[in-house]
């Protein structure tokens, strides 16, 4: 057991303020232990006996600037893996890159400029490079610049080395692994055709200049799950700088737990069924264009367990000879396979056949509703979800998706009703309260919004910080906690005005 010198409340506040000023990173009280461990390690390394002595080194000593870097390397360890948040990578490959390629081809400008800010160990910029190679067969004829930056120098060293673990590539298809990596035991070495498209520099988003080579006239900026660690003023400043760095029509990708609502109104929200991104426009958009996002739940249908009483036997037996029945489960499995391969129209056709054979096949209905939602066919999806509830009025996924879709079509009252049903059946589902809080916040019902965000926090504080949130891939407990606290801070400022 390592004996660590406790960090007093006053000392925590001292370092909290200092790190916020130096890096924009905001450490709330729940991160007292992680900050204490990092400070203790540097305290021991430098040979000091008190946190005050170490603070004086950081603040006043000529070596302070160098020591700050060492400390930041300890407190900014980010999670990373390839194709994190697959819906955004799909939007990049299927919509954004084809649009950019077409515009650039027509103008004769064969260049693509991308910045991955807060890139950690490099999985994000390398994922972008793979996406560009896949979307642009003659990519070698283009000038492709992908810049990866981070405040953590150790992470950048690993990024340049580009050797990853099995976990880092676990979200990639075997096709991509075979094509872009060389397996060596338990390690996966990235191929040079990807590495040569990306370069890395250290950069402090809070204090650094946005003038490095590769930061201007950009087509795309990725800054996912970074601003959630910043205080509000730092976030506003960083987003404003991103706006200036983008070309007209350029795109900004943020994490699902991040929103520009009440942050910046110069971007247009471009919403896709399972994700959203921001586009640089020259005019201020209406508030409705930047309302908080709620995504269609991320669910692997192949993992669904059969529902109790899913099949209801007919009450009457007719005199007609029985028709030849189609084997339902093999048909359902094949439809699910097509769905997971994103062959939506073929999957829909097979799910319809399953439903034709069994009017009470809940899993087929829900799979169909989710496909329709992903295709922005909201009314059809809502009708399909209604059929599920007729069969099983306790099917919580249906109510959650109904709440999401009602919010998308602007029926906030009905969305609230559906989310309340989710809470009745599953009071532990934190994302439901968070969605309600976002809805109230958008409607300027600050008291109700605060109540829902505080409820979300109470639920999440009991869980592991790296646990993934149900219904939303890529959001962890830690990220959602920070989003709630950021919203509460903003509400507090508005209500004091």
* Inter-CA distances, 242 with 224, 239, 250, 254, 283, Å: 13, 5, 10, 11, 16
Tokens of 85: 């948040």
Domain 301-496 has CATH 1.10.287.130: no
Please tell me the distance from the alpha carbon of residue 193 to that of residue 145, in angstroms, as a whole number. Answer: 13
Q: Identify the pLDDT of residue 289.
A: 39
Please state which of the ranges 188-192, 287-291, 360-364, 492-496 shows the lowest mean pLDDT: 287-291
Mean pLDDT, to the nearest integer, of 159-168?
A: 93
Domains 9-75 and 86-290 in one fold? no
Mean pLDDT, to the nearest integer, of 222-227?
A: 87
Query: Among residues 34, 80, 32, which one has the least CA distance to residue 225?
Result: 80
- The pLDDT tens digits of the residues spanning 430-477 come to 889 998 998 898 888 999 999 999 999 999 988 888 787 887 766 778
Domain 9-75 has CATH 1.10.10.10: no
Axis-axis angle for helices 64-75, 153-161 (nearest 10): 60
pTM of the model: 0.61
Please tell me the distance from the alpha carbon of residue 103 to that of residue 97, in angstroms, as a whole number. Answer: 10
- The pLDDT tens digits of the residues spanning 68-126 come to 888 887 777 666 789 887 888 889 998 999 999 999 999 999 999 999 999 989 999 99
Phi, psi of 215 (to 5 degrees): -110, 5
Please tell me the distance from the alpha carbon of residue 272 to that of residue 407, in angstroms, as a whole number. Answer: 14
Q: Identify the pLDDT of residue 260.
A: 79
Ordered by start, the domain boundaries in the chain are 9-75, 86-290, 301-496
Pick the CATH number of 86-290 from 3.90.226.10, 3.40.50.150, 2.40.420.20, 3.40.640.10: 3.40.50.150
């Amino acid at each position: 057991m390592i004996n660590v010198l406790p960090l007093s409340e006053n000392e925590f506040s001292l370092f909290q303020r200092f790190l916020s000023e130096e890096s924009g990173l905001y450490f709330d009280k729940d991160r007292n232990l992680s900050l204490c461990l990092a400070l203790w390690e540097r305290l021991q390394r430098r040979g000091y006996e008190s946190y005050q002595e170490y603070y004086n080194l950081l603040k006043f000593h000529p070596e302070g600037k160098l020591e700050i870097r060492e400390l930041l390397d300890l407190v900014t360890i980010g999670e990373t893996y390839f194709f994190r948040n697959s819906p955004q990578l799909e939007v990049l490959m299927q919509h954004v890159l084809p649009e950019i390629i077409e515009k650039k081809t027509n103008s004769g400008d064969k260049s693509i400029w991308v910045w991955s800010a807060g890139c950690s160990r490099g999985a994000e910029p390398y994922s972008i490079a793979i996406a560009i190679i896949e979307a642009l067969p003659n990519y070698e004829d283009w000038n492709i610049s992908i810049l990866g930056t981070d405040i953590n120098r150790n992470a950048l060293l690993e990024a340049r080395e580009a050797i990853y673990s099995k976990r880092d590539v676990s979200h990639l298809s075997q096709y991509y692994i075979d094509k872009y990596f060389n397996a060596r035991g338990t390690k996966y070495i990235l191929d040079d055709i990807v590495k040569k498209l990306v370069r890395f520099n250290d950069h402090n988003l809070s204090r650094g200049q946005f003038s490095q080579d590769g930061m201007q006239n950009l087509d795309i900026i990725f800054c996912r799950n970074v601003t959630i660690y910043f205080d509000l003023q730092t976030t506003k400043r960083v987003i404003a700088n991103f706006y200036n760095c983008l070309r007209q029509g350029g795109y900004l990708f943020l994490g699902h737990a991040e929103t520009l609502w009440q942050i910046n109104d110069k971007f247009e929200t471009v919403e896709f069924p399972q994700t959203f991104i921001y586009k640089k426009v020259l005019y201020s958009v209406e508030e409705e264009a930047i309302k908080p996002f709620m995504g269609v739940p991320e669910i692997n249908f192949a993992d669904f367990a059969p529902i109790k009483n899913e099949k209801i036997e007919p009450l009457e037996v007719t005199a007609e000879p029985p028709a030849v029945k189609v084997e339902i489960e093999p048909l359902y499995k094949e439809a699910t396979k097509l769905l997971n391969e994103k062959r939506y129209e073929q999957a829909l056709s097979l799910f319809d056949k399953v439903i034709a054979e069994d009017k009470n096949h809940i899993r087929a209905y829900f799979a169909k509703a989710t496909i329709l939602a992903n295709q922005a066919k909201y009314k059809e999806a809502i009708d399909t979800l209604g059929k599920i509830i007729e069969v099983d009025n306790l099917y919580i996924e249906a109510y959650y998706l109904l709440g999401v879709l009602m919010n998308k079509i602007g029926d906030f009252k009905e969305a609230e009703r559906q989310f309340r049903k989710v809470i009745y059946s599953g009071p532990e589902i934190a994302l439901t309260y968070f969605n309600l809080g976002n809805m109230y916040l958008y409607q300027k019902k600050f008291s109700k919004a605060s109540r829902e965000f505080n409820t979300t926090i109470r639920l999440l504080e009991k869980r592991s910080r790296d646990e993934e949130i149900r219904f939303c891939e890529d959001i962890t407990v830690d990220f959602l906690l920070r989003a709630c606290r950021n919203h509460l801070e903003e509400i507090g400022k508005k209500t004091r005005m």
